[in-house]
Structure 1
Amino acid sequence: MKTRILSGAFALAALVACKEKEEKNTVEEIIEIEEVAPETYAEISVKKGGSWKEDTREYIDGSFENVDELIVPEEHTDHSWYIRYEGPGWENKQTAYRLYLDWRNAIDIFGKKVDTLVLPYVGTDGFDSYHNNAPWGQDILKAGKSMGIGGYGRFTGDTIAHFDEVQKTSVKVNNEASQSSVAINYEGWKTGDVTTDLKSVISIFPEDRFLKAELTPSISFDGLATGIVKFEEIPLMQGTSEDGSWAYISTYGVQTLAGEQDQLGMAIFYKTEDAEVIDGPHDHLVVFKPSTETQTYYILSAWDQEHNGIKSKEAFEKGLAEKLAKLDNHGVLE
């Protein structure tokens, strides 16, 4: 007998012991396992075996190990060299993303030239190596002071408050056969006169180039926002579904770190009744109305150097229109 067992990103070996009632003998039945390549993957990898340098908040020595859960140390900040590629990552065969798990809290894009999973190898041969062109691809988005693509913060009228003041941040990674996700809990996130807890769950699916983001605050407050980084001479594009319930903001053009001619499209899909579009200092913003309900939106990117990638603005916009139609009909993309 052959049995096929799938368990997220892993193939397992097993022995089943069964007892025959008549003979009362134990029989070991070997179950053959067919190894199945995972279609999605999420991870977070931290250094162990080293130590913190207090005056610079850097983690010295040690080696990276993947963990399923993490409470972010108080010493950790940007460029601490503690978390491999500075935060958790998500990917499928088409695209990959990462989130800076520090005060910046921006989401970045790893452009992929291959249709295989690559994150386990990114940043292992040198912390900044992923900024350089490699056979698998590279980091392609310059986030700067923005939230990158689909990161989140609080719009306070003239700027975005990131995550400078948080009492505790914890993260958990989950890999299943149908999707991979990262759940982040921010406890005591303070911006101005507002202090809240915020739960973020970001998921990736086997097909297509998008992430699903779900934000749940513990109290109702104004200004919870996401957005797309702004670049000069790259205009904002917008579209709305036929019934008006969903819309997107997007950009398309030469806006990467990879080269002078490569093209990148970025988009955010949001529910129109829950948010409005505002021009921020560093981002094209989607600002949510005050609520304690979960705010759901989708993040999408398309790089023209991807394996079988989208090669033109027209093809990119066609894909956005198709997704609006699906959101109209089903309310979800996954």
Structure 2
Amino acid sequence: MKKVQVLFLAVITIAFQSCQTSEKENTGITFLLSNPSTIELVDKGVKIARTEIDFDSSKAVYPLIKTASGEIIPSQLDDIDGDGEWDEIFLVWNFAPNEEIEISLAWVEEAREYEKRTAVRFGKRDAIDQAVTSRKGDVLLADELPRSIGYQPYQTDGPSWENDKVGFRHYFDGRNSKDLFGKKTSAMSPKDVGVNSKGEVEDNYHTMEDWGRDILAVGNSVGLGGFTLLKDDKPARLGVLVTDSVNNIEKSTFKILSEGSVRSIIHFEYNNWDAFDRKYPKVEEKVSIVPGMYGFKNEVKFDGLQGDEHIAIGLVNIHNDKGIKQIDDFEDWVVLMTHDAQGYEKEWIIGMALILPKAQFIEMIEAPQEGNVTDSYLAKMKTVNNEPIEYYAIGAWELSDEGFREAAYFEQYLRDLVSEIQVDIQVNKITQE
């Protein structure tokens, strides 16, 4: 009996050592993450470029990241350029002021499930008598607008994206403006929002549900965080109005680049856009959303600019009687904010804002009262051909946080958010085995 016990202990010891060796071999790299600021960072995103990692695609392909104390950090692999290969590891973590955290990266065979804190929803039907199906992307040609084909093909008029705080949607049906979903819960909203029990496209998101609803009147503006192009301060709409049957864009392409637990990324490309009696061969935008923020990040660039145009970022101005406030005492960013009863029937307080790069911001102007771009404040930006402009669009609903009923509370939220945005976590590789 004693010999059996000794043998059993020996087997357990060998197995334990084997597990330790296997874990050590799989770990590979250790990084030091440093918060260089004196502020606390909550849900701070961190990027680790693929070029920082010696990666063997023939082995396990899913990252598992842990702190030195063994806590698992939610992370994902993201394909940023859409070439089918991942470009960076993205993770979200909390950092105390001036804190340094040592993390280890292991490669495992199965993807770990994390709490889902971002999502993208996109569906389409190919005929009026077909059900909507979930898609990863789509191409819209100039003669395929709802008015010309006789029905709305897209669920929620185009893709929607969200995090645990707020949601948005983009009118991919030719209008190319951006709308706001207010959320009352941190859970992701149902995948069938905008579709009825028969699988038909249905506007059922303007009624209050447990998760929230569409809360913003957009009209003929470019919405919250949409954009246009100015020439002599006159805007040209990238796309058309709901009453038009032919687009001024030859081809519009949408693609989901990533839909992960801690970041979702979508990409739009517009080819051969007619504006100002010119044709712009390509316009691109890349939208991303991460947890914890009442907003999304957008990156916009134009190809074919002739030097007398300016990109303008829009902030809808329909139910706003209190004007707009400019906050420019930050080093790198300018904030344009509104705060009023801006719901459909002015029934809710909504705070909205644009967080814009100060180096590219020129001034705020207002869209004309007539034309195909109206009801908008427009942030006029310094614009260079094929150089991106990155900015944030923020939407804060009083039913998401009752503090947003007060303008001072919303402004303080924006100030705290910009302070966090200005901090980049320093990533330093320590070892590689």
Match of 2:303 in 1: 218
The match for 1:302 among 385, 391, 396 is 396
Amino acid at match of 1:212: K
Amino acid at match of 1:175: E
Displacement after TM superposition at 1:171 (Å): 0.8
Match of 2:350 in 1: 264
**1:235-255 deviations in whole A, cap 9, x for unaligned?**
101101333x31011100101
Partner of 1:118, secondary structure, is: coil
Displacement after TM superposition at 1:37 (Å): 3.2
Q: Aligned equivalents of 1:32 and 1:71: distance in 2? A: 33
Amino acid at match of 1:235: G
Task: Determine if contact 2:236/2:275 at 8 Å carries over to the other structure.
Answer: no
Task: Determine if contact 1:241/1:325 at 8 Å carries over to the other structure.
Answer: no
**1:62-89 deviations in whole A, cap 9, x for unaligned?**
1111111211244432574201001111
The match for 1:193 among 261, 277, 281 is 277
Q: Aligned equivalents of 1:150 and 1:63: distance in 2? A: 31
Task: Determine if contact 1:236/1:251 at 8 Å carries over to the other structure.
Answer: yes
Answering whether residue 171 of structure 2 is matched by residue 100 of structure 1, we say yes
Over 3 Å counting, the alpha-carbon distance change for 1:34 and 1:193 in structure 2 is closer
Q: Aligned equivalents of 2:347 and 2:173: distance in 1? A: 32
**1:48-70 deviations in whole A, cap 9, x for unaligned?**
4x2xxxxxxxxx11111111121
The match for 1:291 among 375, 380, 384 is 384
Task: Determine if contact 1:155/1:161 at 8 Å carries over to the other structure.
Answer: no
Partner of 1:315, secondary structure, is: helix
Task: Determine if contact 1:219/1:291 at 8 Å carries over to the other structure.
Answer: no
Q: Which has the larger radius of gyration?
A: 2
Match of 2:40 in 1: none
**1:255-305 deviations in whole A, cap 9, x for unaligned?**
112x54421000001112212221222211112223121110100110011
Amino acid at match of 2:409: A
Answering whether residue 238 of structure 2 is matched by residue 162 of structure 1, we say yes
Partner of 1:316, secondary structure, is: helix
How many residue pairs get matched?
Answer: 298
Displacement after TM superposition at 1:34 (Å): 6.1
Q: Aligned equivalents of 2:394 and 2:352: distance in 1? A: 6
Displacement after TM superposition at 1:118 (Å): 0.6
Amino acid at match of 1:326: E
The match for 2:209 among 98, 109, 134 is 134
Displacement after TM superposition at 1:159 (Å): 3.9
Over 3 Å counting, the alpha-carbon distance change for 1:100 and 1:315 in structure 2 is same
Partner of 1:72, secondary structure, is: strand
Match of 1:250 in 2: 337
Q: Aligned equivalents of 1:296 and 1:236: distance in 2? A: 21
Report the TM-score when normalising by structure 1: 0.81
Query: Which structure carries more relative contact order (alpha carbon 8 Å, separation 6+)?
Result: 2
Partner of 2:179, secondary structure, is: strand
Partner of 2:132, secondary structure, is: strand
Displacement after TM superposition at 1:308 (Å): 6.8
Answering whether residue 406 of structure 2 is matched by residue 312 of structure 1, we say yes
Over 3 Å counting, the alpha-carbon distance change for 1:304 and 1:33 in structure 2 is same
User: Mind listing any 5+ residue stretches in structure 1 that lack a counterpart?
Assistant: 10-30, 51-59
The match for 2:134 among 51, 57, 66 is 66
Q: Aligned equivalents of 1:307 and 1:122: distance in 2? A: 23
**1:187-208 deviations in whole A, cap 9, x for unaligned?**
1112113322111100000221
Q: Aligned equivalents of 2:316 and 2:110: distance in 1? A: 49
Amino acid at match of 2:343: T
Match of 1:206 in 2: 291
Q: Aligned equivalents of 1:113 and 1:290: distance in 2? A: 38
Amino acid at match of 1:113: K
- Equivalent pairs: percent with the same residue? 23
Over 3 Å counting, the alpha-carbon distance change for 1:321 and 1:37 in structure 2 is closer
Partner of 1:63, secondary structure, is: coil
Displacement after TM superposition at 1:160 (Å): 4.1
Match of 1:56 in 2: none
The match for 1:241 among 311, 329, 342 is 329
Over 3 Å counting, the alpha-carbon distance change for 1:66 and 1:39 in structure 2 is same
Partner of 1:317, secondary structure, is: helix
Match of 1:275 in 2: 361
Displacement after TM superposition at 1:177 (Å): 3.9
Partner of 2:322, secondary structure, is: coil
User: Mind listing any 5+ residue stretches in structure 2 that lack a counterpart?
Assistant: 1-18, 24-61, 65-73, 78-108, 241-247, 369-374, 426-433
Match of 1:55 in 2: none
Displacement after TM superposition at 1:143 (Å): 0.6
Answering whether residue 130 of structure 2 is matched by residue 46 of structure 1, we say no
Over 3 Å counting, the alpha-carbon distance change for 1:134 and 1:177 in structure 2 is closer
CA RMSD of aligned residues (A): 2.7
Q: Aligned equivalents of 1:268 and 1:192: distance in 2? A: 26
Report the TM-score when normalising by structure 2: 0.63
